[in-house]
Amino acid sequence: MNKKSNIFSIFYLLAMGAVLGGLLLTFEPKKEVVQRSLLEHQIEAFLDKEAFALRGSSRSNFIAHLLATAKDHEFDPLLILAIMKVESSFKLHAVSHAGALGLLQLKPIAAKEVSNVFDLAPVSARQLMDPFINVRFGIHYLSFLRKSVGKNWMRILAAYNAGPTFIKRTSVIPTGYASKVMRTYREIIKQVKST
């Protein structure tokens, strides 16, 4: 290489550096536009009618969390809403006489089982009152029940209500609770789809 081509190469690299540097200084990443799905809007309207306590961004984040967690475990989020309605009438801090807690009325023993099976950090009874934790553990528990008692929804819901050990031991599945949840599920589908 001769001296002229070396000088040209240096000037070329300096010029390219200046151009690229100028581009980098003026580059603005596009702001991500988060668009909510139609289902998110429909669930928002439904929860508003149900006087759900979370408002604003907390409610939006809760709905997104519900949808993502339900999808991860291949559950219809509207079915999860039906269980919530039957269990707690959407009261965040509901406590049953049997010690079940929160939106999905989980007992601490069920949460402990979920922690063990899914290798999740254990949670306290107080933490189960957090709607985000309650939904995550509740959906995990439903997933555990599906593996434990089979994929039949009447069995899964009966196990959710009466416990998987009882359902495994009995030949006659109690259907009252499961029927109530499925009836509520059909009603929610109609309400949500009509908004």
Q: What fold, for 38-193?
A: Lysozyme (1.10.530)
Would you put residue 146 in left (φ > 0), alpha (ψ -120 to 50) or beta?
alpha
Q: Which residues pair with 95 in a beta bridge?
A: 101
Would you put residue 90 in left (φ > 0), alpha (ψ -120 to 50) or beta?
left
Residue 31 reports pLDDT greater than 50:
no
- Assign 195 a pLDDT band (cuts: 50, 70, 90): confident
Q: φ and ψ at 111, to 5 degrees?
A: -65, -35
pTM summary value:
0.81
Closest residue by Cα to residue 173 from 160, 183, 158: 158
Q: Which residues are catalytic?
A: 87
* Domain layout of the chain by residue ranges: 38-193
74-130 pLDDT, tens digit per residue, is 999 999 999 999 999 999 999 999 999 999 999 999 999 999 999 999 999 999 999
- Is 107 within 8 Å of 134 (Cβ atoms)? no
- Assign 11 a pLDDT band (cuts: 50, 70, 90): low
- Distance between CA 108 and CA 99 in Å, rounded? 8
Query: Quick one: pLDDT at residue 12?
Result: 55
Structure tokens at 69: 């967690």
117-174 pLDDT, tens digit per residue, is 999 999 999 999 999 999 999 999 999 999 999 999 999 999 999 999 999 998 889 9
